[in-house]
Amino acid sequence: MIQRALCVVLVLLAACGGGAASRTPKVTPTVSSEQAVEQFMKAVADSNLVKMAGLWGSARGSALETGQPVDYQRRIVVIQAYLRGATARVTSADPAGAGVDHRLVNVELRRDQCVKVVPFETAKAPSGNWIITSVDLAAAGTPGRACSPESAAQ
């Protein structure tokens, strides 16, 4: 009887899977806007959509934490489609007009002969981490389309 009860308890514990903490992946804290963008681009390269959602959102926090916007998962997939397949390098970071808690980070994307500079807007969340709040996807070029001759040297 005791063995049966013990088996039931073990099965129930295994089914619980460790609680809520294991369902929300840990995102490395970001101490600068540049670090947030670098981690985001690494997550893009790794196709780690969950980590991307943990680094993208609004000044209120990451999309992963807040669940906002409601369609954030779809947006993360679109962002990843535009940015994947490129090597990325942060080229500059400047205040973004709204004070010290907002910065504009420019990223150079290279695909074959194409070089594009893509602006990322970042903000400091209440947690103290930096979050990407906007990516100018138009500046990244069309996914899967060859670089036009006039933009090859941009």
Is residue 67 in some structural domain? yes
Question: DSSP of 57-69, one letter per residue?
Answer: EETTEEHHHH--S
The DSSP H or E segment spanning 114 is: strand 114-124
Which pLDDT tens digit goes with each residue over 4-20?
Answer: 433 333 333 333 333 33
Range of the domain at 120: 26-151
The reply to whether 10 falls in a domain is: no
The reply to whether 18 falls in a domain is: no
Encode pLDDT of 87-98 as tens digits.
999 998 777 655
Output the domain CATH number for residue 76: 3.10.450.50
| Contact criterion met (CB below 8 Å) for 133 and 123 | yes
Classify residue 130: in a domain, yes or no. yes
In this prediction the pTM is 0.76
Taking CA atoms, 13 is separated from 7, 54, 114, 133, in Å, by 10, 28, 53, 39
Could you give phi then psi for residue 108, rounded to 5 degrees?
Answer: -90, 120
Residue 142 forms part of a structural domain: yes
Averaged pLDDT, 32-54: 96
For tokens 């907002």, the residue is 102
